[in-house]
Amino acid sequence: MISLDTCAPAATPLFARSDYRPSCWRCRRPLNGCYCSLIQPFASDPRIVILCQPREAKHRLGTGRMAHLCLSNSALIQGVDFTSDLRVNREIEDPANFSVLLYPSNDSIDLSKLDELERRALVPRRQRLVVFVLDGTWKSVRKMIGLSENLRRLPTISFTPVTPSGYRIRRQPRPQCYSTVEAIHQVIELFTSDGKGSGAARPQDNLLAVFAALVNRQLTYTP
């Protein structure tokens, strides 16, 4: 089992502020909880763009930044209303991209109900799939969508969780409400395999390994 005790934060630049514990500048975690040495970056297909609510970006138990650090070709953009965001609109308007929003709306396509060929057929030929993922509480995510006209125009995708979330360190509305990093892992899983896994180690599994290390370390502090 991967443990955060194996991290080597001494080689990592720090935030040196007297009113905070020394923290890693990359993962924003306290040094004794830094998970950077566990990360094995890889380029995912689909490409992931994480839209992070500013308050969530400051939460030390948030997993959007974790996913971004694991995915070498991802983007992490902070904001609430992305209607006029240049980076977001550049991704959406790029003719080489086929952009979708991961969000369980009434009109969303449930990837879990499609087979591998049907999932691949969702993406037009000669285009790259780009998945926008909202990172925040459910309340803040609904606000982000309500304000962002460009996001509301995107087709939406979703999946049906088959196991409860492992996010035992933050309160969730339901056991099947996944953290951002778990949701991203599931999307990558569905688009790169038959969704069942082969049993062999795969690059995307590092997402869950780092996440599990964070959860297990945090639970040691819970009375």
Average pLDDT of the segment spanning 186-196: 78
Q: Give pLDDT, residue 176.
A: 56
Q: Which of 103, 117, 127, 114 is nearest to 51 (CA)?
A: 103
Average pLDDT of the segment spanning 206-220: 89
Tell me which of 21 and 196 has the higher pLDDT: 21
Distance in angstroms (rounded) separating the CA atoms of residues 166 and 148: 30
Torsion of CA 193, 199, 205, 209, to 10 degrees: 160
Tell me the per-residue pLDDT of 119-166, one tens digit each, with 9 for 90 and over: 999 999 999 999 999 999 889 999 999 999 999 999 999 999 888 776
> Does 111 score more than 90 pLDDT?
yes
